[in-house]
Chain A
Amino acid sequence: MSPFFETAATAEDGDLAILHLKRDTLTPITLRSTADDGYAEGAVTNTRFGSFPHSTLIGLEWGAQVRASKVDTGTRGRKGKQVRQDGVAVSMEETTTSPGQPAEPVAHLNNKRKSEELEPEARLEHPVPKKLRTASDRVDSTAVQRAAVATVTPLEAGSGFVHLLQPTPESWTSSLDHRTQVVYIPDYSYILQRIRAKPGQSIIEAGAGSGSFTHAAARAVFSGYPGSENPKKRKLGKVYSYEYHEPRVETLRKEINEHGLDDIVHLTHRDVCNDGFLLTTPDRPSPNANAIFLDLPAPWQALRHLTRIPFEEQVIATTTYLRKNGWTEIDMVEVHNRRMDVRREQVGLKNEGLRGVNASAATVDEAVFRLRDVEQKIGDFHASKIDRQLNAQANAAGAGGAVPNGSGRKVQSKADRLDKIKRDAEERKLYKEGNLVHRTETEVKTHTSYLVFATLPRAWNEDDERACAESWDVEAMMRGERSGGETKKA
């Protein structure tokens, strides 16, 4: 059973899960109750938002928010390489191991290694900030005792969290490191819609790459697993995937297996341009596909039902090829996807000195008010200067008695004003103030690929036509006899 199609209510040992760190930062992991990679807590996934022992994830409901745990990542950092060779699904890329980094004190708070491994050298190699030491040692003593028997019960860190999600083709695609150019979601969603992918169909994909389209196509055609109850004898959907780059094939094969898609995705290592699509198994030579998706540098060499093409030159060659070989409904498009940024734009003088705002005047009135205010201050300033001079003269004349300054107003200093604005801002509901605006997000993929669609109509010959004419007689109607049928106005 693939976790992409069905999941139980809770995340269980051995499940594929997606840790959602933030939008577009997703880490796929396989949950393990045990792991031999040196952590006292068992299997641990380290992220930029903290460490997550799998024991804190297993048994949770999907979609749950999870707090980070205190895990000693420092002392076992040197084992990182070995871990990766073992193929244990622990992401080391984002491990926050630089010692003493102020933003990441928690990672070094505790040493919860097994007691026999707690060598003094290790501690020296990764010095723990001194003021944190007492707290960590206190925790350690209990932790270490337990570790001697089994794995440690993880303690919650003070900060950091992730969300635990079921895998989907979208989250998988977002989490992919770009082994090759990825077929992005806006493209593949349109392709699958456009080629009318339905459950029970067979789709050929040539140029599997990192497998983003593979997963989406598998979801689109999925109509059950072989061997399961199939009362209607429905065809089981299948994706026939081809890739000529051997390391990519191996990675993808492993992923397909781990994702429980073996029965749906049939992966072949082959260059389809030269060797075609026929399957190697003797009993079923042709995939009999309903649709073909080609993501190749020279698609016209391997052409069938549909292609995705990055360059215009290829489009022209491909289209010409299609036209010459009996395809119809030929169409070329590109998909332009934009993500929108929505925010509250704070404009106005009352925002002066705040962050992320526009502190210019929001209205004409505000501008006029500010102008008058400035004028007033200048006037006051000059007036006070004159006053001082007058005072000085008066004092010199020995008349005594202070002359009141300009307008008699107390002038608020800029620092006071900013301070007041800042204090006011604490009370303001900034989340519902200002103008609600939207704009395209700053990074836009303005072009991803050209998509060429074409249809190969079913071949039709005179025999077919004759058989059809016999089944559906028209001679009576042609003589003008209406057999109860009415004219259909199209």
Chain B
Amino acid sequence: MSTSRIQPNTWLFLRLPSRSLKCLEIKPNTIIDVGKLGQFPSNLLLGRPYYHTYEILEKAADEAYSRLRIVTPDELNAEVAADEATPAESRAEPATPGVSDGASLPKAMEEAVVQELKNNRLTIDDASRQALSQEDIEQLKKSSAGKEIIDKILANHAGLDEKTVFSRAKYVLRKRSKYLKRFTVLPMDVGTLILYLHEKEPARILEMREETLGLIMAWSNMHGSHVESSADETSLGKLGTGRWLTVDETGGLLVAAMAERMDILHKYTDEEQFDHPPTNAESVQTEDVEMEDVSATLDGKSSTPASRHIPTPRDFPLPATSNTITLLHPAVQPNVSILKHFGYDSNSPNTDHPLHTHLKCLSWLQLLHPADDPTYRQPDTVPDPELFKWKSGKRGNYHKKQRRWQRCQAVVHDTQRGNFDGLIIASNMDPATILPHTIPLVRGGGHIVIYSPTIEPLVKIMDLYSKDRRAAYIQHLSKGETPSIDDFPLDPRLLLAPTLQTSRVREWQVLPGRTHPRMTSRGGSEGFVFTARRVLPVEGGVEARGNFTGKKRKGATNDAATPGGDIVDAGVGVGGA
């Protein structure tokens, strides 16, 4: 998909001067209303580049809406440079920035010295300092552009000269964000979506931050698989490659991020396609249940040999075998509403979208007790002769039920066979109850990543995999005992190097002489990530070896059980698998 120009029927963000984000779907021939900034036709944005800042122009007398103008980056940066960047010019050039430090003071500081007498001691905080009344400003707003208003306001501020350089800069900035009718257009992507949702409804995405998502994606080794699974392999019932399991209760954000890394989030469209822009490319969407969308394009990369010839049905396609995300959900239907921003809607499926076949959803009931799930049970089969007597609607319904059942069967069996490359959890449920069912489904060396907005659930998991508990577990096994489920809800030997971490990004203000961390940032949950790798414990006894820093206990078979000594991380193992 084109990444630099705005395409019709895509979601995007407008960032307003207040830095708040607006999320909208742009459709041709519609009006976009950005509140007090004004209204303009969507066609003025279509085809235009992302990341630019647009100014809403004054409405011409004979026109119904405003027009737009691209504010060039030079113009934008010149405004910043006008009051801030000048002193830094001396720094941009030298090859050794450090040298200039001792020799000459930065200009900002020189300026501060010259204007030493100017400080905020005598500042009068009073509305009377501004000669323009509220009515005047309102009048101005109707008649002139943002820039003129700001100039007038500044000119009429009696105390502006008394302000220090810094406070004047702040004042100008504040007025600018208030009166400039500008917005910046940002493309829809997982990163910006997080910023937007974090502002709007953080609970919906479990308060996940961008840096935390980065950690999750790195430590889960999330990536696409591009190995062709040959016809022989799939017919032999071998599992495909690049299969990932997730428990995502962030409304689909996690699935979106995973899909993005696997290259199955965006519809495959041609970059060049834009040169012949589709007028209104909305395809005719029918809710037919018959398999008549022969035109449905196939995702050839992953499609099984069978589906190369049979079109993918709209409603219940047979899932792909490789490069897939399997989503376990607690409700009857998965909540992946966020995926609509990327053109995937499970209610009105689009066969073009890779997620149509690459996202497999199943409920916990379907995984653990499939026999109790109505979808899993085979619907009655009707012989063909009788089927032909039916009305087409009834017949369609029958086929739909059959397809739904087939898909459910395929997904459930595929999931139960396990061997997933990794497991990512971001759930409201206690991870200690999720892991016993999911860890066995992960292949050896596979990655386990659990996200939690708060640390407590993960502390509990860390405790269940503590080295003391593992040593005790192994000791039970070596004695031939079955460790009690109360003491050991999870087999502590199955995860290697459990690690709990958190990342937090700190934003800085970069201005010459005033470079420091930002004064404010958002609080809320820190966001913690538990990572580990699934391992296969060896059968029989294993004894640790290493440099024991502590006292060595003689004769004990499980030396590693003693705390201290750097051996403990390597763990010990005695007993069968």
Contact = CB atoms under 8 A, between A and B. Distances in A.
Contact of A323 (B31, B63, B81, B300): B81
Interface in B172-210: 184, 189-191, 210
A287 interface: no
B43 A477 contact: yes
B268 A23 contact: no
Interface string A460-490: 1000010110011110011110111111111
A78 interface: no
Contacts of A474: 41, 43-44, 67
A468 B502 contact: no
B545 A471 contact: no
Interface string A431-472: 110001010000000000010100101101000010110011
Given A199-B261, A326-B73, A190 B214 contact: yes
Interface stretch (B131-139, B140-148, B456-464): B456-464
B86 to A, nearest CB: 9
B497 A20 contact: yes
A189 B73 contact: no
Nearest to B512: A316
Contacts of A277: none
Contacts of B211: 186, 189-190, 193, 335
A298 B95 contact: yes
B27 A488 contact: yes
Interface in A110-127: none
Of all A-B residue pairs in the complex, the 6 with the closest CB atoms, nearest first, are: A63-B444, A231-B300, A193-B214, A160-B545, A189-B218, A22-B569
B217 A189 contact: yes
A222 B223 contact: yes
A197 B510 CA distance: 25
Given A300-B92, A319-B510, 16 more contacts: A65-B536, A161-B538, A163-B535, A190-B505, A193-B191, A194-B210, A223-B226, A229-B301, A317-B88, A335-B504, A336-B505, A436-B460, A455-B51, A458-B51, A467-B47, A490-B33
A424 interface: no
A132 interface: no
Given A186-B215, A228-B226, A334-B508, A161 B445 contact: no
Interface string B391-414: 000000000000000000000000
A487 B30 contact: yes
B165 interface: no
A81 to B, nearest CB: 25
A342 interface: yes
Contacts of B499: 23, 339
Contacts of B107: none
A411 to B, nearest CB: 29
Nearest to B73: A326
A467 B536 CA distance: 61
B545 A49 contact: yes
Contacts of B566: 22
A353 interface: no
A472 B544 contact: no
A63 B440 CA distance: 13
Nearest to A66: B538
A137 B354 CA distance: 64
Interface in B11-26: 14, 22-26
B43 A21 contact: no
Given A22-B569, A190-B214, A488-B31, A334 B63 contact: no
Contacts of A431: 463, 466, 468-469, 471-472, 487
A227 to B, nearest CB: 12
B49 A460 contact: yes
Nearest to A22: B569
Contacts of A158: 543
A378 interface: no
28 contacts: A7-B445, A22-B570, A23-B569, A68-B545, A165-B533, A189-B211, A193-B211, A193-B217, A196-B190, A298-B95, A315-B515, A320-B88, A326-B72, A328-B52, A331-B507, A333-B505, A336-B505, A337-B504, A344-B466, A356-B563, A438-B459, A438-B462, A457-B52, A460-B70, A468-B47, A468-B48, A487-B30, A487-B31
Contact of A63 (B35, B534, B547): B534
Most buried by A among B39, B472, B510: B510
Interface stretch (A144-152, A166-174, A358-366): A166-174
B223 A332 contact: no
A103 B225 CA distance: 45
Nearest to B94: A317
Majority-rule SS of B interface residues:
mixed
Interface of B: 3-5, 14, 22-35, 39, 41-44, 46-53, 63-65, 67, 70, 72-74, 76-77, 80-81, 85, 88-89, 91-92, 95, 97-98, 101, 184, 189-191, 210-211, 213-215, 217-219, 221, 223-228, 241, 260-263, 268, 277, 299-301, 443-447, 455, 459-460, 462-463, 466, 468-469, 471-472, 487, 496-497, 499-508, 510, 512, 515, 528, 533-538, 542-548, 550-551, 562-564, 566-567, 569-570, 573
Given A168-B221, A458-B49, A478-B64, A336 B506 contact: yes
B521 to A, nearest CB: 10
Nearest to A483: B29
Given A161-B538, A324-B77, A450-B508, A355 B92 contact: no
Given A317-B88, A431-B466, A196 B503 contact: no
A198 B260 contact: yes
B538 A338 contact: no
B210 A320 contact: no
A394 interface: no
A335 B260 CA distance: 23
B34 to A, nearest CB: 5
B502 A337 contact: yes
A325 to B, nearest CB: 8
B11 to A, nearest CB: 11
A264 B214 CA distance: 22
B218 A192 contact: yes
Contact of B47 (A168, A185, A471): A471
Most buried by B among A23, A192, A436, A490: A490
B535 A472 contact: no
Nearest to B221: A168
A324 B81 contact: yes
B375 to A, nearest CB: 31
Contacts of B548: 103
A196 B189 contact: yes
A327 interface: yes
Contacts of A21: 570
Contact of A234 (B268, B462, B496, B502): B268
B182 to A, nearest CB: 12
Nearest to B86: A320
A356 to B, nearest CB: 4
A222 B262 CA distance: 9
A48 interface: yes
Contacts of B32: 487-488, 490
Most buried by A among B24, B215, B218, B504: B218
B226 A64 contact: no
A189 B515 contact: no
A6 interface: yes
A313 B98 contact: yes
Nearest to A230: B301
A159 interface: yes
B311 to A, nearest CB: 16
B89 A65 contact: no
Given A199-B262, A477-B65, A223 B224 contact: yes
Contacts of B227: 1, 6
Contacts of A49: 544-546, 567, 570
Contact of B51 (A65, A234, A311, A457): A457
A401 B272 CA distance: 115
Nearest to B5: A458
A343 interface: yes
Contact of A231 (B65, B301, B563): B301
